[in-house]
Amino acid sequence: MRYVIKGEPMPVVICELEGGESMLSESGAMSWMSPNMQMETVGGGAGKMFGRMFSGESLFQNRYTAQGQGMIAFASSFPGSIRAVEIGNGREVIVQKSGFLASEPGVELSVFLQKKAMSGVFGGEGFIMQRLSGHGIAFIEIDGSAVEYDLGPGQQMVVDTGYVAMMDATCAMDVQTVKGVKNMLFGGEGLFNTVITGPGHVVLQTMPLNNFASTIASLLPGAKN
């Protein structure tokens, strides 16, 4: 499989496949393709289907297989960027809910839940994420621009919920209460922040979809100021 990513800030990844090669995608992710691409809707078992539903994805995935040399394109659903990530050789990654766009068939998608109780209750969008394992190339959607960091063992970063696009599975994530009653009530940053602890690679995003939607909603006629 060969690919090229074009068109930021509304990017698309165009994949060129040899005969018999396949791509997996979420329902509705395909944008255009050559006529010799054969589509098959797959579930992958009740456990995987439930995990996808719980993480905000559709119950089924689509597998596209080239009958001879073929082409298929997957476009981003929101202004930002698309990143190609190599899964395998001991590397697994955690991505934001609904961040998975498409992948080679060897990549497995499952739900990732924070283990600590506080993370589960207060983590919001950062609590339910997706784990990518197996082997192959996966394409991930980033909301807005991507900013990347490499954290050493024990090194931490405090991030507002929703700005975490992707991190290595070697990183740990927890929820931290904002210190000080005045800060909590009047700081405007919410009650909790996400704390990421290394080692591992972290990709942050500058325009989380939920934040963008809230800003637009506040500007609509009839919205309360």
What pLDDT shows up at residue 128? 80
187: confidence class by pLDDT, cuts 50, 70, 90: very low
CA 46 to chain CA centroid, nearest Å = 22
Report the C-alpha gap between 74 and 80 in whole angstroms. Answer: 14
> How do residues 156-165 score in pLDDT, each as one tens digit?
999 987 899 9
All structural domains of the chain: 2-219 (3.60.160.10)
Largest CA distance in the chain: 64
**CA nearest 109: which of 142, 131, 136, 84?**
131
Report phi then psi at 26, rounded to 5. -75, 160
Q: Would you state the pLDDT for residue 27?
A: 83
- Position with higher pLDDT, 204 vs 8: 204
pLDDT at 222: 67
Q: Is pTM, for the whole model, over 0.85?
A: no
Structure token pair of residue 144: 């807005």
pLDDT in tens, 135-181: 999 999 999 999 999 999 999 999 987 899 999 999 998 887 766 54
Of the candidates 215, 209, 221, the one whose C-alpha atom is nearest the C-alpha of residue 96 is: 209
- How do residues 77-135 score in pLDDT, each as one tens digit? 889 999 999 999 999 999 998 899 999 999 998 888 765 544 444 444 456 889 999 99
pLDDT digits (tens, 9 = 90+) for 18-74: 999 999 998 889 999 999 999 999 875 444 555 555 545 566 889 999 999 999 999
Count, in order, helices (H) and strands (E) of the chain. Answer: 4, 19
Residue 183 has pLDDT above 50, yes or no: no
CB 61 within 8 A of CB 19: no
Whole-number pLDDT of residue 123: 46
Q: What is the 3-state secondary structure (H, E, C) of 17-54?
A: ECCCCEEEEECCCEEEECCCEEEEEECCCHHHHHHHHH
**DSSP label at 57?**
S
Q: CB of 151 within 8 A of CB of 199?
A: yes
Ranges of H-type helices in the chain: 46-54, 117-122, 181-186, 209-219
